[in-house]
Amino acid sequence: MARTEPAPRAPEQSVAARLSTLDRYLAVWILAAMAVGLGLGRLIPGLNDALAKVELGGISLPIALGLLVMMYPVLAKVRYDKLDAVTGDRRLMVSSLVINWLIGPAVMFTLAWLFLPDLPEYRTGLIVVGLARCIAMVIIWNDLACGDREAAAVLVALNSVFQVVMFGVLGWFYLDLLPGRLGLGDGQHLDISMGRIALNVLVFLGIPLAAGFLTRRLGERRLGRERYETAFLPRIGPWALYGLLFTIVILFALQGRTITSQPLDVARIALPLLAYFAIMWFGSFALGKAVGLAYDRTATLAFTAAGNNFELAIAVAIGTFGVTSGQALSGVVGPLIEVPVLVALVYVSLAWRKRFARAAP
């Protein structure tokens, strides 16, 4: 009897097999980086203070370095000549604006009050996290999930503009006006200028975006598109994950002692954050599918909705309420929960990619 050869698997079914060792065990490396950072911050006296002093204009230079190294390779992969196709997709653009600037802050406000009615400092810190929409780390989550790079570049740029304009306004609305109108007690005030937010956006998005754009333009001019994408990009690609791991180590080294010394408080803060990430990601993914977006743009919509600008949230909380405040602790716990959760959602997203492929005509 002739042996029947198994049918070849569809490309979507072998996503994991095509990943490099670094990508395939990403969750392991990230958990290890978090553990190393927490351990260093806990075991080395004065390390967090020393790292905190290395800043310029209120921006941590070690974290800035890590984020720039992380974002540059991904932004160098973007085909900037295709951005017009993204901006013309009204379903994507409108959905992103509504989710990020209407739904997201409202969801975090609601969860903060539901889970932490008796802890006003932690509650305020969570609301600040909800106001700081992601413009940095979402780039790499989207890339790992095979999302639309061009769409991600457009949406984070759009978020950056709204962040400069709307952060202070939404902070006043959710921390001062709305609690008073609802009879929830006295409000809080944020001491943050538009210039400070603009500087944050410039450092964490403007610099790597400009570097990626210039690299693409000059690289294609010198090498041609095919050689640029097949020879140059694979050489710089791994640096995105190196930058991510370095950023995680530094971030948790900065706050390792604070996190490990208050485990019960961390657990209280973690619960609404887990609910927030689940609601935002799964809700946005469902919306993208409902309005007819392809998988890659649906994934981009979901990750840009669920991610937050933890650097801005922490800087605002520390600058307004102090480094030892409960608001600052909430900001620090944000990435502690966000990083492993969004890594897990990368794998969920890749699994759902198969369903989109089977549903396609």
Residues 339-353: pLDDT tens digits?
889 989 998 999 888
pLDDT beyond 60 at 14: no
- Is 309 inside a domain boundary? yes
User: Which two structure tokens, joined as six digits, stand for 330?
Assistant: 């909430």
Secondary structure (DSSP) of 304-334: HHH-B-HHHHHHHHHHHH-TTSHHHHHHHHH
Residue 300 belongs to a domain:
yes
> Bigger pLDDT: 39 or 60?
39
Which SS3 state, helix, strand or coil, does residue 66 take?
Answer: helix
Q: Is position 15 within any domain? A: no
Q: Considering the domain boundaries, does residue 1 fall inside one?
A: no
The answer as to whether 259 is a domain residue is: yes
Residue 100, token pair as written in the block: 């990020």
pLDDT per position as a tens digit, 219-239: 999 999 899 989 998 898 888
Of the segments 43-52, 213-222, 247-256, which one has the largest average pLDDT value? 213-222
Sign of the dihedral defined by the CA atoms of residues 289, 153, 75, 128, in that order: negative
For residue range 236-276, what is the model confidence (pLDDT) as tens digits? Answer: 888 888 888 888 888 778 777 777 777 888 899 999 999 99
List the domain range (segments joined by +) for residue 153.
20-359
Predicted confidence at residue 5, as pLDDT, reads 41
- Position 192 scores a pLDDT of 66
In a domain? residue 8: no
- CB distance 211 to 72 below 8 Å: yes
Helix (H) or strand (E) run with residue 59 in it? strand 59-60
Q: CA geometry: angle at 9 spanning 7 and 12, to 5°? A: 160
Query: Do 168 and 191 touch, CB atoms closer than 8 A?
Result: no
Residues 94, 195: Cα–Cα separation, whole Å: 27
For residue 235, being part of any structural domain is answered with: yes
Report how many domains make up the chain.
1
What confidence score (pLDDT) does residue 260 get? Answer: 76
Q: What is the CATH number of the domain that holds 329?
A: 1.20.1530.20
Residue 350 placed within a domain: yes
